[in-house]
Structure 1
């Protein structure tokens, strides 16, 4: 199989990882002590360890998968590559920021008692540079926010950097592709450890693009790893061979990381940081290696649900957090209980994403590019036939 043919495991893993965001962001409503746009009255600390277990690699693997996808496009000229990526990312970003995201600051501000009810009036103020009360909602200082769509902003930036530096990065590719055995499981964690040591405390992650140097160092490194991985068929066979090693070592690194972090917070520079930070980054990379190795072994086949998943993943990503926040805005005041409430929010979010994508976005030709999907071919629009695979 050519390394640039359809990678079923990457398609499947992309959908599964982005689907995890729905569960993760729903859980954020209930995690005590964690900032989110809405909070339930049923807060708990029992979610802390599972959330940390996921959080240490969830966005890193998203950027890595994006890098793998880009590797399959960079065989064309840099101009063609950039046009394709900008067309896929820029319009959904603008559409999402202008029409999908605003419901989140509205719900957040009304729930905080700092925004007057009335969505139409809110939008006039929101786009008019209104001076919001302090802490009205996330992004109140600029009267504008991209919230969860920060990923698309960062991905656009990294795509431009990759296109500009592609010849230089291609020359450095052998340094990565020669990694095999224990070197593959350990050495790629060293650059992220350097970023943690030198940038984490000085530039805390803010998703605001500017002065977010720690996040950029981590996420661009993972994006670059994905680009290198996507250009190396042999490394996938090695990841599959090492999948048991990574699966067994990752929990050990996580346990060691938690042990040091419980002594003192990882966000403070103490003697425990000398153990916490290396174990944090090692766990992150081992977890990703385990996921990639097992995915390549189990998911690299043409499942019947993959064409649908390829169509759904981008619209679901754009819609999901606004759906979660809106449903929480409606349901949290009803005090339905610590079981029924999260189940309704989770099920409702899935239903809104499913219905919005299947009944509207995928059917309307001009809407499809706004959510990262190719426009329907004319014959498909006329015949109203099944949608083409992405």
Structure 2
């Protein structure tokens, strides 16, 4: 995509993609962290703090280490070769990568550290937030904290549409000018504040029926306000240079858009998706492997397709379809393998439900 930094770029740049990508990127990962906090709240109900932390650590850190050792290296190799900083030869690159480099400056994203986690940065961030929340559980169950939680889940009407955005705006005023996003875990003060706030929101709302009912009721107003704010944000960005809007105002507008978009997504999701869909078990088990695999598949396919000169239509269509099929096929393999499952963040193989004939035979045998 034109004007958008990434590990490996196609010669067929698409300027028009910036608009939808920018619109999604303002809330995409924020939604993921909010849902992660929601999931942690569900898990916490039937686990002690120590057991919860050990399980989460295993499910997050093992896939991270496996991904950095096996899945991510080709991304770094392709970027380094494309940059002219690394000589072709994937085998030699892997040997050097296993030793932590050293690499020429800016050889690939993360080369200063010797190895990289690239798109897997979400896993260490989530592990840190989970650890912090588990350590804070005694405080979060205090009288004052329970009152704060009830205040949040009790927000209604315009208060729910606006109040949760205030901490996000405060982080933008205090931290955003000083901590640009890095995804290196260490220097990401602004993103940590935003993501942990939304992670805590998710943990708070849990199964609170009143909050979800209100989010569902506000789904239309939230959607309308989010679209209006998005139009305002994009319009301000498109102004000519002599009418440039202060960056801080852009950021604050994006914060309110972020929250109203999340509220609309949660409200509509609760109305339309809160059903026992038959595909839900498959989706629940597939999302983690798809996340781990998708970016390396995209880069590997782009690497192999580029010499074919398929054009601005054929190349992206083939890249998209092959990525989806690759994720689908590899995930099917992972889900069926007892030793691959933990490397991709999955639990033990689920027990197969007995067929009706088998159950009937066992029933007859019992008598």
Q: Give the TM-score taking structure 2 as reference length.
A: 0.90
1:131 pairs, out of 102, 107, 111, with 102
Counterpart in the other structure of 1:339? 313
Structure 1 CA distance, aligned partners of 2:111 and 2:271? 46
1:370 paired with 2:343, answer yes
Q: Tell me which of the two structures has the higher relative contact order, counting C-alpha pairs closer than 8 angstroms and 6 or more residues apart.
A: 1
CA–CA distance in structure 1, aligned partners of residues 200 and 340 of structure 2: 31
Residue 251, structure 1, aligned to residue 252, structure 2: no
Q: Does 1:89 align with 2:60?
A: yes
Query: Is the CA contact 1:37–1:138 (under 8 Å) kept in the aligned structure 2?
Result: yes
User: Which residue pairs with 1:3 in the alignment?
Assistant: none
**Unmatched 5+ stretches in structure 2:** 356-367
Q: Do residues 160 (structure 1) and 131 (structure 2) align?
A: yes
> In angstroms, what is the RMSD of aligned CA positions?
1.7
Q: Secondary structure at the match of 1:72?
A: helix
**Alpha carbons of structure 1 residues 264 and 369: separation in structure 2 relative to 1, 3 Å:** farther
| Aligned partners of 1:63 and 1:219 also within 8 Å | yes
Q: How far apart are 1:131 and its partner, in Å?
A: 2.3
Single out whichever of 274-283 and 61-70 deviates more from structure 2: 274-283
Please state which structure has a larger fraction of its residues in helix: 2
Which of 311, 326, 329 is the matching residue for 1:355? Answer: 329
From the CA coordinates, give the structure whose radius of gyration is larger. 2
Q: Is the 8 Å Cα contact of residues 260 and 272 (structure 1) preserved in structure 2?
A: no
Gaps of at least 5 residues in structure 1 are 1-30, 384-390
How many correspondences in the alignment? 345
Instruction: Report the TM-score, using the length of structure 1 for normalisation.
Output: 0.85
The Cα offsets for residues 327-364 of structure 1, whole Å up to 9 and x where unpaired, read as 11111232211111111111111111111111x21121
Of residues 190, 201, 205 in structure 2, which corresponds to 1:214?
190
- Displacement after TM superposition at 1:145 (Å): 0.3
Q: Provide the rounded CA distance (Å) in 1 between the counterparts of 2:292 and 2:240.
A: 36
Spell out the pairing of 1:1-390 with structure 2 (5 A cutoff).
Answer: 31-75=1-45, 76-170=47-141, 171=145, 172-263=148-239, 272-273=246-247, 275-358=249-332, 360-376=333-349
Contact 1:315 1:372 in 2 (8 A): yes
The answer (yes or no) to whether the contact 1:66–1:226 under 8 Å persists in 2 is yes
Cα distance in 1, alignment partners of residues 30 and 246 from structure 2: 24
